[in-house]
Amino acid sequence: MVKICCIGAGYVGGPTMAVIALKCPSIEVAVVDISVPRITAWNSEKLPIYEPGLDDVVKKCRGKNLFFSNEVEKNVAQADIVFVSVNTPTKSSGLGAGKAADLTYWESAARMIADVSKSSKIVVEKSTVPVKTAEAIEKILTHNNKGIEFQILSNPEFLAEGTAIADLFDPDRVLIGGREETPGGLKAIKTLKDVYAHWVPEERIICTNLWSAELSKLAANAFLAQRISSVNSISALCEATGANVTQVSYSVGKDQRIGSKFLSASVGFGGSCFQKDILNLVYICECNGLPEVANYWKQVIKINDYQKNRFVNRLVSSMFNTVSGKKIAILGFSFKKDTGDTRETPAIDVCRGLLSDRAQLIVYDPQVPEEQMMKDLSMPKFDWDQPSGSTTIQIDEETVRKSVKMVHNAYEATKDAHAICILTEWDEFKSLDYKKIFDNMPKPAYVFDGRNVVDVGKLRQIGFIVYSIGKPLDPWLKDMPAVA
């Protein structure tokens, strides 16, 4: 029986390995992690991450050919294929701080693999890493030469949170990069290909050299994020001219060369990867003497920051230039619907902006725990664009505790609120009883829709003053331009 071990039981390691176990009953899969609470949760009824369809897959395989464990070394030693799916955040100090990927976790995993291995193994880069990382990993693995052969493969993951299981069941492509120039490399590529071939059609499994696979992952995320920043830049122009960004993006996306996906204007993109991976790409460009290319990609993140600031400014300027002491209902805190993940969620920047203007925030999100939100709002925020690595607006813990409250439903959050801010596109926000909500708010009652989920016409009929990203402005807002 082939044995797979995955180091890192996070948003990628957990779902990916669960799907491999489901689709390949003949393979034994162990997912290991240094975090005891995470593994305990994977072995419990309440999994550590919310992902539609995940519970079902885990229930079907756990204890049969899928195991979650803190016994990292033992499981690695026994495996034929070791996936490494540890976190690779942006470095916060030292060389490349604010941009480069922090490979500390990766390096320590690689050293451990080298130390505990007694048989040859295929080591698979599942984490997103800078191009050429495999070269460094090879050096670490072969450093303790005990006559063991290690083959390194790059197999980046393209799943999106909220749709992870559907993406894994039916991926657009699976990418496997390896040392195509050697027989050992080719054999390793074939071994991993055979795993995916249990359920992925062969023509969707792309095999390349190592560097193409590593770079394709960074490039794919940069291209995706670039589409959002492009449409968000157009949303600002729509507001200035009376065009409607939904109509513009529909018309633009109908061109098959452009396509309709990933063109929804929003308060900004979030999530643990887009910003981190683009900064990583920027840093690699700078290190390779390509400042123009670096600046091109930086602009994608600058527009994202601009979009979040613009939203806060629009809100404050519409409410007579101050929200001090005003109650603002925040609907949605996670970085997108169908996940409880708050990493780099635009809600953090928007809430901090409102708190710096001394607003009182009442937050409702169906999946985000209160302590996570409190932690996110009071954590020092690193300014990626400052070479010295300085921090931007800081909100201390006491202000957060005094000025932010989390509640359990949207009606409770909006009761007596001066304004509603929709920051995540949870489906339930589309079908709220907005008439009832309006009746329970002081007037004028505002809705600032950062995800374009509400029916603007209907809400205006009820009596709300509505701001919706990139849509023709409410007459009330017209004379209050948002300045960044």
Ligand X SMILES: NC(=O)C1=CN([C@@H]2O[C@H](COP(=O)(O)OP(=O)(O)OC[C@H]3O[C@@H](n4cnc5c(N)ncnc54)[C@H](O)[C@@H]3O)[C@@H](O)[C@H]2O)C=CC1
DSSP state of 190: H
Nearer to ligand X, 139 or 254 (CB): 139
- Is 98 a known ligand-binding residue? no
Binding to ligand UGA by residue 336, rule CB under 6 A? yes
- Is 450 a known ligand-binding residue? no
Q: Which of the residues 109 through 148 are near ligand UGA (CB under 6 A)? A: 128
Binding to ligand UGA by residue 469, rule CB under 6 A? no
Using CB under 6 A, list all residues that contact ligand X: 7-13, 32-35, 38, 72, 85-88, 105, 108-109, 127-128, 157, 159, 161, 272-273
Binding to ligand UGA by residue 271, rule CB under 6 A? yes
- How many angstroms separate the most distant Cα atoms in the chain? 76
Q: Cα separation of 391 and 166, whole Å?
A: 38
Nearest by Cα to 266 from 421, 372, 484 = 421
Coil, strand or helix: which one is 88?
coil
What phi and psi, each to the nearest 5 degrees, are found at residue 250? Answer: -65, -45
Nearest by Cα to 12 from 390, 395, 271, 366 = 271
Binding to ligand UGA by residue 158, rule CB under 6 A? yes
Residue 383 has a CB neighbour count (10 Å cut-off) of 14
Query: Shortest distance, CB of residue 469 to ligand UGA, whole angstroms?
Result: 9
Question: By the 8 A CB rule, do 67 and 1 touch?
Answer: no
Query: Shortest distance, CB of residue 451 to ligand UGA, whole angstroms?
Result: 7
Query: Shortest distance, CB of residue 135 to ligand UGA, whole angstroms?
Result: 22
Nearer to ligand UGA, 220 or 462 (CB): 220
Tally DSSP H helices, then E strands, for the chain: 19, 14
Which of the listed partners (ligand X, ligand UGA, none) does 228 bind, with a CB threshold of 5 to 8 Å by partner kind? Answer: ligand UGA
**Any alpha helices (H) in 155-209, and if so which ranges?**
164-169, 183-196
Q: Cα separation of 194 and 384, whole Å?
A: 41
Name which position in 333, 335, 429, 434 contacts ligand UGA (CB under 6 A): 335
* 421 catalytic residue (yes or no): no
Residue 142's alpha-carbon distances to 6, 88, 103, 182, in angstroms, are 20, 22, 18, 16
Nearest by Cα to 56 from 19, 109, 99 = 19
Binding to ligand UGA by residue 228, rule CB under 6 A? yes
- Residue-wise DSSP of 31-68: EE-S-HHHHHHHTSSS-SS--TTHHHHHHHHBTTTEEE
Binding to ligand UGA by residue 266, rule CB under 6 A? yes
Which of the listed partners (ligand X, ligand UGA, none) does 407 bind, with a CB threshold of 5 to 8 Å by partner kind? Answer: none
What single-letter amino acid sits at 174? V
Binding part of the chain for ligand UGA, among 23-31, 185-193, 264-272, 295-303 by CB under 6 A, reads 264-272
Q: Which among 273, 285, 351, 421 is annotated as catalytic? A: 273
Binding part of the chain for ligand UGA, among 174-182, 268-276, 309-317, 364-372 by CB under 6 A, reads 268-276
List contacts with ligand UGA (CB under 6 A): 128, 157-161, 221, 224, 228, 262-264, 266, 269-271, 273-274, 335-336
Active site residues: 273
